[in-house]
Amino acid sequence: MFLIPWLSLFFMKKEEVKHWMPVSMFALVLTIIIHDVGTTLGFWATRESTFPFYQMIPYFFGTMPVLTIWVFKLTYGDFGKYFITNTVLDIGSNFFLLNYFLPNRGILDFSISPFLSLPITFVHTVVIYGYQMWQDDVLFDIKELSLTTYNLR
Amino acid sequence: MDFFYTRFTIAWTCWLLFANKARWKEMVPVCAFALCLSLISDQIVDWYVIYWEYYGNEPKIIRKLMDDFDVYVIVTYLFIQWLPQKQSYFNMFFYWFAWTALAISIEYIHVKTGHMAHYNGWTFWHSYISDWILFWLFYQYHKILQLEKLAK
């Protein structure tokens, strides 16, 4: 969950990895903060992690940022496609991974309903898309939207 | 006023006074990278060997969030902003020397005022060497990702 996802980036062009790396790091920062705040509020708790990480499972440092890069590469420029892809992934991670798979193996306590955690991931999804749009100068310059989208494709 | 609230205020005042706001689009990715390293190091340090710990009156989560969103971000922002135009070995060495001196001085104030403590063999020398490496990583991240293209 940590190392193998990063190796998948060998199948992507170096320039593309460079382009999407900042949004991936931004997504990671938000995820860690959400995780810390959720832990403090008692929404979830990590029971067993992997050395050297303490509260967070390696999924957050491998699968999540790399998946962000792949999803942006394949869907950026078409928000509908991006949002549907993320919705499918978020439903999988909230209802299966976080609510069933990890708790059943004693790795994570997930005290919050996945119906409540799902909107959190939706907000995360929209915020990181907005961040990338801002980085690409689209967010505050609607006139440039079509041009930037065209260039990215 | 509590130490960490004061630090937060001073750090953001420095940003307001000295930061080139026109370059913030270029700086935010490097700051996010610095934050990632900070948050990941927190994860590792909170493992069964604790190397350092912060102390204050604030709730732990507030102290942690303020810690992440003041000095780490502001120092990274200003460090990249003021990188020397002429990047000779001497200039770069002097620049690193100045910033690592500042970073270790900030840590020294924390330790001497009782707001931070080192444990399990961690010393100022470990921190100082880490500072040199961290600033090098920020520089490389900014350079390799060609983030200067984002400057207005």
Q: A135 and B29: CB-CB below 8 Å?
A: yes
Task: Compare CB distances from A25 to B32, B144, B150 and report the shortest one's residue.
Answer: B32
Flag whether pLDDT at A96 surpasses 50: yes
Model confidence at A150: pLDDT above 50: no
Q: Is A2:A61 a contact under the CB 8 Å cutoff?
A: yes
The pLDDT, as a whole number, for residue B2 is 83
pLDDT attached to residue B83: 95
Residue A8 inside a domain? The answer is no
Lowest mean pLDDT among A23-27, A35-39, B90-94: A35-39
When divided into structural domains, chain A yields a total of 1
Residue B112's domain comprises 38-147
Phi, psi of A115 (to 5 degrees): -70, -20
- Does A108 reside within a domain? no
Question: Looking at beta carbons, which residues of chain A come within 8 Å of B29?
Answer: 22, 25-26, 135
CA atoms within 13 A on the CB side of B11: 21
Per-residue model confidence (pLDDT) at position A153: 42
Amino acid identity, residue B56?
G
Give me the mean pLDDT over the B66-90 stretch: 91
| B62 or A18: which leads in pLDDT | A18
Q: Contacts of residue B40 in chain A, CB cutoff 8 Å?
A: 32, 61
Contacts of B50 in chain A (CB under 8 A): none
Q: Select from B32, B46, B144 the Cβ nearest to the Cβ of A55.
A: B46
What pLDDT band is residue A40 in, cutting at 50, 70 and 90?
A: confident
Higher pLDDT pick, A145 / B146: B146
**CB spacing of A29 vs B150 below 8 angstroms:** no
Q: Look up the pTM and report it.
A: 0.85
Identify the burial level of B74 via C-beta atoms within 10 angstroms of its C-beta, where 0-12 means exposed, 13-18 middle and 19 or more buried.
buried
| B64 to chain A: closest CA residue | A36
Q: Are A26 and A128 contacting, i.e. CB atoms less than 8 angstroms apart?
A: yes
ipTM: 0.84
- Compare all CA atoms of chain B with the CA of A36 and give the residue at the minimum distance: B61
Residue B122 located in a structural domain: yes
> Tell me: the pLDDT tens digits for B85-138?
998 999 999 999 999 999 999 999 999 999 999 998 999 999 999 999 999 999
Asked if residue A81 belongs to a domain, the reply is: yes
In a domain, A147, yes or no: yes
Q: What angle do CA B57, B60, B63 make, to 5 degrees?
A: 75
CB burial string B54-68: b at 16+ within 10 A, e below: bebebeeebbbbbbb
Domain coverage including residue A145: 17-36+57-90+113-152
Q: Return d(Cα B89, Cα B92) in angstroms, integer.
A: 5
pLDDT digits (tens, 9 = 90+) for B26-64: 999 999 999 988 888 877 776 667 888 888 888 877 887
Highest-scoring range by mean pLDDT, A89-103, A132-146, B39-53, B128-142: B128-142
Residue A50 has a pLDDT of 67
Asked if residue B81 belongs to a domain, the reply is yes
Distance in angstroms (rounded) separating the CA atoms of residues A150 and A36: 38
- Which of A2, A54, A56, A137 is the best residue to mutate to test the B interface, defined by the most B CB atoms within 10 Å of its own CB? A54
In chain B, the residue whose alpha carbon lies closest to the alpha carbon of A65 is B36
To which residue do tokens 């960490």 refer? Answer: B4
Contact check, Cβ <8 Å, B35/A56: no
Helix (H, G, I), strand (E, B) or coil at A90: helix
